[in-house]
Structure 1
């Protein structure tokens, strides 16, 4: 069963029971992505890592030589 079919079935059941229909699929995707990003930043800070720029810093160290790595 696809997401759309499940949504239509849930909407039909809600209308039969006099309840509010569920939100449409994909209507909260941005909020979920934003909360996931915030959670990952929070976990990084709790672990003692920088919250932002981790990927860019790692690539910079790899490309330009970091501690224990010779410069090319």
Structure 2
């Protein structure tokens, strides 16, 4: 069963029972992404790591690989 089919089934059941229908799929996606990001920043602070700049450092490492030693 797809997400859309499950959603319509839940809406139909809510209407029959006189309840509030659930929000459509995808309504709270960006809020969830922000909450996950905030939780990652919180965990970084608690662990004693810098909370900002992690993505930029990772991209810089990928852009400028270390020089390999000649054997």
TM-score range, shorter chain: 0.7 to 0.9
Unaligned runs of 5+ in 1: none
TM-score by length of 2: 0.80
Paired residue secondary structure (2:25):
coil
Alignment of 1:1-72 (within 5 A): 1-60=1-60, 63=64
Change (3 A) 1:54 1:23: same
Distance across 2 between alignment mates of 1:59 and 1:24: 35
TM-score with structure 1 length normalisation? 0.79
Q: Quote how far apart the aligned CAs of 1:39 are.
A: 0.3
Stretches (4+) displaced over 4 A:
58-62
